[in-house]
Amino acid sequence: MLAPIEKPYGSWKSPITPDLIVSETIGLGQVALSKDAVYWMEMRPTEGGRSVILRRTRNGEIKEINPPPYNARTRVHEYGGGAYLVAGDSVFFANFEDQRLYRHQRGTAIQPITPEGDYRYADAIFDGVRNRLICVREDHTDKTREAVNTLVSIPFDGSGQVSVLASGADFYSSPRLSPDGNRLAWLTWNHPHMPWDGTELWVAQVDGAGSLGEAKPIAGGSSESIFQPEWSPEGTLYFISDRTGWWNLYRWREEQVEAVTQMTAEFGLPQWVFGLSTYAFESVDRIICTYSSKGVSHLVSIDTTTCALEEFDLPYTEIGFLQAQSGRAVFIAASPTEFPAVVQLDLSTGDLEVLRRASEITMDPDYFSIAEAIQFPTEGGAFSHAFFYPARNKDFMGPPGERPPLLVVSHGGPTAATDNTLDLKIQYWTSRGIAVLDVNYRGSTHYGREYRRQLGGQWGLVDVDDCVNGALYLVQRGEVDPERLAIRGGSAGGFTTLAALTFHEVFKAGASYYGVSDLEALAKETHKFESRYLDHLIGPYPERADLYAARSPIYAVDRLSCPVIFFQGLEDKIVPPEQAEQMVEALRRKGLPVAYVPFEGEQHGFRRSENIKRALSAELYFYSRVFGFDLAEEIEPIAIENL
């Protein structure tokens, strides 16, 4: 083995290129099972971000359900999820272009089953008794008011006779039909709550005509978040609740709610998208379930009679989209050294079979940086969490006495979380000699309701403090160069990034991906799902307009004193391009180094391979110019004004 070459941090040559990341990597999501097949979703950057449903039979044959130009993606809540349903020999899916529901029945052509119009559908279930679907519908036909969300039924025959089953709440999700078809359960919530703040679980009888009888709430409220209701095979309703401060599993039987698990762990997730699943019934008396403890996933079997848990010994640290069937469980899993994959577990033997990997790249693991989970002190005597990735490349080492630049990552949401699984977009930086700190600031999921609620009224303050203090913690440990600290983030993480750059002087550069700069504009312009989110994160608007102005970077550009690069999709409906463009113009006027990289055809999050590649390389080029290191490869320059 050759000795590592001494070279400045940031200038290391890496085999992890933008081309490799997008050409060899897909996104994986939503798993479904039938008697003879496994289904999953693939998001393909090389096809313009098209979402494809795949079917794999027991003999290993894989077939694409929705060929081009069909794109299985719903825009309900803008973030989507729950875009398809398997029912017998049919697959139903929402098509992105027109947002209609389509049916793919084996042996026949794909046909629409919903009428044309400004409607969106998600989270469908199959009502076999009445030959129909039940799902969430979002109605955008009346442009004078916000969208209307309801639960609706849709017949298979394509007649377009959509019937409203439940209405009146601001939001609906998770319709679930009992095994005998006689009862329907679902979730609702209302402004200003988000589903991780407070939801209600409802149940109603379904009559012979398919209409709902009187509905009654059985759990939840303004301070209790319910997640993933499911009927057991014998007709008991299970659900996940955070009533104790941690999302645990419960069940409702004989008109009473009883706990199935009681752990300081998270069995639930924030419902940013539909179709999430953390547990499933393998049989009448056995549940297969995943939970997160300190940011790491575990898979367990739960005996429904004794409520005893038995853990599976698996090589994964992140598990999601769990489904189960007699004798097997299928889920998407990843680890610090394994890319996300669709994995099938034989429940009797413990054997694992990888059905599809997000990437087939084979690479020497000595190019990979393995995350260290750290807990560090932050403001107010509190502690925050993060994953630290040291700079690492088997071919290079830094010069004596030099410490690497640090790139702090602030995740989106902000009620989301990061994990420690293998991500080439992180390894892209570490393999070039740039350390990464991926922060689960206060407000993140995986650490209980109290940790999550610490962001209430404090967005733009505690999240920023945690990113700042995380960087300073590594400086104090002697891990990174205090003069080359950068921060990046997308969406809500973009706001945290811009606030950290504006209101603190720790970071020397930053990158905002479709980030929020004007909170007041966001409150006025954003879509229905998040239109009252800021009431909780900041305060009611317009009553506390003073807080919105005080925390908006756009109104404090005079305090910003370092270079920033902005990346923006021009069709973004969640954070419109004007937010980035106003910030760019303000920095331009001030004479600060600034770059702006807009992308035609992109929305909130980049899905096209050419744009993902361009953003990664442009950001690296930007840091090389700002921090003064040479690049190991040729990168198409970007225009940096005032540099």
Nearest to 470 by CA among 489, 449, 457: 489
DSSP, res 369: P
Per CATH, the homologous superfamily of domain 363-627 is Alpha/Beta hydrolase fold, catalytic domain (3.40.50.1820)
389-416 tens-digit pLDDT: 999 999 999 999 999 999 999 999 899 9
How is 229-288 classified by DSSP, letter by letter? EEE-TTS-EEEEE-TTSS-EEEEEETTEEEES---SSB-----SSB---SEEEEETTEEE
pLDDT of residue 22: 84
Average pLDDT score over the chain = 96
- Return contacts of 113-119, CB within 8 angstroms, 24+ apart: 113/154, 113/155, 113/156, 113/157, 113/158, 113/160, 114/154, 114/160, 114/162, 115/160, 115/162, 117/141
Q: What percentage of the chain exceeds 70 in pLDDT?
A: 100
Average pLDDT (367-391) is: 97
Task: Give Cα 411 distance to the centre of its chain.
Answer: 10
Average pLDDT (321-340) is: 96
Give the sign of the dihedral formed by CA 159, CA 161, CA 162, CA 163.
negative
pLDDT of residue 360: 87
Average pLDDT (34-57) is: 95
d(CA 169, CA 138): 12
Residue 184 has pLDDT above 80, yes or no: yes
What are the structure tokens assigned to 629, written together? 């290191």
**391-to-223, 270, 421, 422, 481 alpha-carbon distances in Å:** 42, 32, 16, 15, 12
Number of alpha carbons in the 13 Å side-chain half-sphere of residue 464: 21
How sure is the predictor about 338, in pLDDT bands with cuts at 50, 70 and 90? very high
d(CA 368, CA 271): 31
- Return contacts of 339-346, CB within 8 angstroms, 24+ apart: 339/25, 339/422, 340/28, 340/421, 341/28, 342/28, 342/31, 342/38, 342/40, 343/316, 344/38, 345/299, 345/312, 345/314
What are the structure tokens assigned to 508, written together? 């020397």
What is the radius of gyration, based on Cα positions, of the chain? 24
Average pLDDT (268-281) is: 97
Nearest to 15 by CA among 24, 6, 26, 7: 24
User: Which helix H or strand E contains 622, and what residues bound it?
Assistant: helix 609-627
Identify any residues that bridge with 291 across adjacent strands, giving them in sequence order: 298
Average pLDDT (329-352) is: 97
Which amino acid makes up residue 542? P
Length in residues, the chain: 643
pLDDT of residue 1: 65
Average pLDDT (344-361) is: 95
Average pLDDT (65-91) is: 97
The structural domains of the chain, with segments of one domain joined by +, span 297-358, 363-627
pLDDT of residue 434: 98
pLDDT of residue 235: 97
d(CA 446, CA 569): 30
How sure is the predictor about 158, in pLDDT bands with cuts at 50, 70 and 90? confident
Which amino acid makes up residue 132? R
Nearest to 516 by CA among 601, 580, 582, 566: 580
Residue 160 has pLDDT above 80, yes or no: no
- Range with the poorest average pLDDT among 167-181, 248-262, 523-537, 538-552: 523-537
d(CA 593, CA 622): 10
d(CA 619, CA 3): 30
Residue 507 has pLDDT above 90, yes or no: yes
Q: What percentage of the chain exceeds 90 in pLDDT?
A: 91
Q: Could you tell me the end-to-end alpha-carbon distance of the chain, in angstroms, rounded to an integer?
A: 42
Residue 320 has pLDDT above 80, yes or no: yes
pLDDT of residue 391: 98
Nearest to 124 by CA among 172, 196, 55: 172
Nearest-5° Cα angle at 427, 421 to 429: 140
Residue 455 has pLDDT above 90, yes or no: yes
Report whether 494 contacts 514 (CB < 8 A): yes
Question: Cβ–Cβ contacts within 10 Å for residue 106, how many?
Answer: 11
With tokens 């969300």, the residue in question is 149
Average pLDDT (497-502) is: 97
d(CA 126, CA 603): 31
